[in-house]
Chain A
Amino acid sequence: MSASAPLDPALAARRRDTVLGAIRRNLGRDTAPPAPEAPLPPAHPRLAVPDEDLVQRWRERWDARGGTSALVPTKEAAVEHLVAWCREHDLPAPSHAARPLLELPWPADWHLDPGPAGIDTQSAVSLAFAGIAEVGNLAFLSGPASPVTHLFVPDNHFILLEAAAIVRHFEDLWQRLRHHLAPAGGDWRERLPRTLNFVAGPSRTGDVEQTIQLGAHGPRRVHVVIFTD
């Protein structure tokens, strides 16, 4: 078989038809079932999240997995906090940041690059799209202003999260996402980013003797600064 053969459209179509045909035959039908009309998202059981204070709940869950977090009043205060945090923990100044964050009042000697992280990138700052209180994790949408490599390459990852962006359940996030992608209506699916990333703390592995070790391939330290205003 030549290398290009599997990409031959006629062969590909035949394979597709065979697989779909086999599925139908084994389900006892000849044709596809009638397509359901744009169904409402199914209502599956959720986990009770009784907490009044979602920020508090989010932080408890996040911190329990080895992440760290702080709560500050404003974005500007978040900047101050990060500068102090790096100094206090003897961490290198970030070299990369998401584009929307570049306008913040960073110290003059912090040179922040909005481009993708490279093999030497030690530290980056990102802006989360949302937090989910249910498990205490963060959602990110990839895009021109938010490289995916920032989430996985650096040793140290700093994240700014707006308190109001913390939702209770994943279902709330899906609603928000659909609205965010198509605020004026239209098909939200046309505007999907390449990736939607959820991050729940530092990278970890249990692959050696089932002993949890942080910093497997991704960041060893993930610090979230929540700003309320």
Chain B
Amino acid sequence: MQIRTREFVPRATFALHDPNLQRALANAAGGFIGKRAKAVAEVPEFEALREAARVRKDEILAELDLWLERYEERVRAVGGQVHWARDAEEARAIIRALCARAGAKTVAKGKSMVSEEIGLNEALATDGLEVIETDLGEYIVQLAKEPPSHIIAPAVHKTKEQVAELFAEHHGTTPEPTVPGLVTEAREQLRCQFFRTDVGITGANFLIAETGASVIVTNEGNGDLTQTLARVHIVTAGIEKVVPTLEDATLFLRLLARSATGQDSETYTTYSMGPRRADDPDGPQEYHVVLVDNGRSRMLGGPWREMLRCIRCGACMNHCPVYGAIGGHAYGWVYPGPMGSVLTPLFVGLDTAYDLPNACTLNGRCGEVCPVKIPLPDLIREVRHAQQRDGLHPPAEQRAKALWRRAAERPALYHGLERLAVRLLATLGQNGRIRRLPGLSAWTDARDLPAPAGRTFLELWHAKGRDQ
């Protein structure tokens, strides 16, 4: 997927003024937040589950190699194959080779953020394969030649009228722009695709070491049709997805649906273990898992390890006021919102994704709703620190920060400057406010600056001889 994180500011600015996007975002936000709140309120154990999930995931990550080896052993035992990919290019190469070996012409895909991360669709298309996204939201953005704008609701930025236009253009039909009409239209179009697909590619919400299972969670059933009707089932998963036991998967699943969509359970949860057995009437003949590192092992070592707890529920972006104002595309890569503001710079570069962690008010609502208690605001701040160490903040800002620090460490100077500034600002004030302030137009373009009275608190207080 093309990296457009450098265009964050212009894309965000346009997003703020795109009426269709704004309408779609307004529709979505209330729904996600309200449904989650209701689902959480129904479960008094929710906080205990979050804490247990945090602790358990940290334990697993500390022994990640062990659980991955166990997992691989069990996949082999049930007749599947595990392929390890160090980076995106290797992951693509492995999957392309598997498709080529299978003589595949068509590939159906269930929703997988890792496949977006490794740019799989473009690579398969280069090989002349017909690739069809089967999750309705993914299908819509595929037709629109756009990336997903949300990790669980890829087409959340589209209105039903826009979807109807896309279907009309690509299917040559004239579907009614109603939700039932559009869903039926997509169902009919995709049904044929499922039955003619050679390779089915899905992601994995979890990998279970004790059974060699890959777990997917869907509401539509597309992932199941994808993997059941294809000859070859390929799973793409980040190495952090492994959990030791079925009981562990249950712990995380109790949190996932409630956090993501506010459901107590998604409609379908499927544990896949190897290819079809000798006397099975259906199911794929081959089963492959591509374990993708792509920078994850490096994250284990630094301050970013906690980010690997992420179970990709999307709650952080649903509760982020910035995401709510601009949607996912402005973030310019696969992972938007708060989790993306930490992950994207680590994947594509602290420089390339400079704006993402900075365009955040650190209001903390993301961390508050995270089902695995990732301290997202702390990690976002940590990315800013890493950017500071690399000298990536704008030169003017760095100079200003250095000067400010020098003053703040010298009380006489600091207070002198404050007194000066306050007097100056007071003279600029009219009716208690300053309407335009050259040099601070970023503030005064949208708001007045309340004018100070002309004396600082410290000088007034000490002038009264209150202490010392």
Contacts and interface: CB of A to CB of B under 8 A. Distances in A.
> CB–CB under 8 A between A and B in the complex?
yes
Interface of A: 1, 3-7, 12, 15-16, 18-20, 22-28, 32-33, 35, 39, 41-48, 61, 65, 114-119, 135-137, 142-144, 147-149, 151-153, 170-171, 174, 177, 189-190, 192-211, 213, 215-219
A44 B136 contact: no
B interface residue count range (under 10 / 10 to 19 / 20 to 34 / 35 or more): 35 or more
Contacts of B271: 195-197
B446 to A, nearest CB: 30
Contacts of A135: 264-265
Nearest to A27: B300
Contacts of B358: none
Contacts of B282: 116-117, 142, 147-149
B250 to A, nearest CB: 4
B440 interface: no
14 contacts: A19-B291, A20-B68, A26-B299, A26-B302, A27-B62, A32-B66, A45-B48, A48-B45, A65-B267, A152-B224, A207-B154, A208-B183, A218-B224, A218-B268
B274 interface: yes
A189 B74 contact: yes
B300 A23 contact: yes
B276 A194 contact: yes
Contacts of B237: none
Contact of B210 (A170, A189, A215): A189
Contacts of A16: 84
B303 interface: no
B156 A202 contact: no
Given A45-B45, A208-B160, A6 B153 contact: no
Interface SS, A side? loop
A27 B64 CA distance: 9
A33 B228 CA distance: 37
Contact of A15 (B90, B163, B229, B270): B90
Contact of A208 (B163, B297, B300): B163
A207 B135 contact: yes
Interface of B: 24, 27-28, 31-32, 43-45, 48-49, 52, 56, 62-66, 68-69, 74, 77-78, 83-86, 90, 93-94, 96-98, 100-101, 134-137, 140, 153-156, 158-160, 163, 179-180, 182-184, 186-187, 190-192, 194-195, 210-213, 219-222, 224-225, 228-229, 239, 244-248, 250-251, 253-254, 261, 263-277, 279-283, 291, 293, 297-302
Contacts of A136: 264-265
A212 B65 CA distance: 40
Interface SS, B side? helix
A117 B191 CA distance: 13
B195 A23 contact: no
B229 A44 contact: no
A44 B270 contact: no
Contact of A210 (B31, B68, B277): B31
B293 to A, nearest CB: 5
Contacts of B45: 45-48
B191 A23 contact: no
Given A19-B86, A27-B300, A47-B254, A200 B268 contact: yes
A6 B300 contact: no
Contacts of A177: 246
A213 B293 CA distance: 36
A12 B90 CA distance: 10
Given A144-B279, A195-B271, A218-B220, A41 B160 contact: no
A200 B153 contact: no
Contacts of B155: 207-208
B269 A44 contact: no
